[in-house]
Amino acid sequence: MSTWREMMVASGLPLNEARLLAAHAAGRARSWMLAHDDEEAAKDALDAAHTAFVRRRAGEPVAYILGEREFYSLMFAVTPAVLIPRPETELLVDLVLERLPLHGSLIDIGTGSGAIAVAVAHARPDVEVWACDISMEALAVAQSNSRRHGTGIRFVQSDLLATFTSPALAGKRFDVIVSNPPYIAEGDAHLSTGDLRFEPHAALASGTDGLTLIRRLAAEAPAHLKPAGWLLFEHGYDQGGICHSLLQSMEYKEVFTNIDLAGHPRVCAGRTANLT
**Can you give the binding site for ligand GLN, defined by CB under 6 A?**
83, 86, 180, 182-184, 196, 204, 234
Give the bridge partners for 259, in sequence order.
265
| In the complex, least distance from residue 146 CB atom to ligand GLN, rounded to whole angstroms | 20
Query: What angle (nearest 5°) sits at the alpha carbon of residue 41, between those of residues 36 and 42?
Result: 140
Task: Compute the least distance from the CB of residue 47 to ligand GLN, in Å.
Answer: 32
User: Toward ligand GLN, which CB reaches closer, 33 or 246?
Assistant: 246
Q: How far is the CB of 256 from ligand GLN (least distance, A)?
A: 19
Question: Which of 254, 273, 275, 256 is CA-nearest to residue 265?
Answer: 256
| Residue placing its CB nearer to ligand GLN in the complex, 46 or 118 | 118
CA–CA distances in Å: residue 181 to residues 142, 214, 263: 15, 7, 20
**Closest separation in Å from C-beta 38 to ligand GLN:** 37
Nearer to ligand GLN, 175 or 234 (CB): 234
Nearer to ligand GLN by Cβ, of 45 and 83: the residue is: 83
Q: Dihedral sign, CA of 170, 171, 177, 180?
A: positive
Query: Judged by CB, which is closer to ligand GLN: 83, or 121?
Result: 83
In the chain, alpha helices (H): 4-10, 15-26, 30-36, 43-57, 62-66, 89-99, 115-123, 136-148, 201-204, 212-220, 240-249
- The nearest distance, CB 258 to ligand GLN, in angstroms, is 15
| Cβ 198 to ligand GLN shortest distance, Å | 12
Q: What is d(CA 107, CA 123) in angstroms, rounded to the nearest whole number?
A: 15
Residue 144, helix vs strand vs coil: helix
Q: Which is nearer to ligand GLN, 7 or 232 (CB)?
A: 232
CA 34 to chain centre: 29
In DSSP terms, which residues pair with 231 in a beta bridge?
177, 270
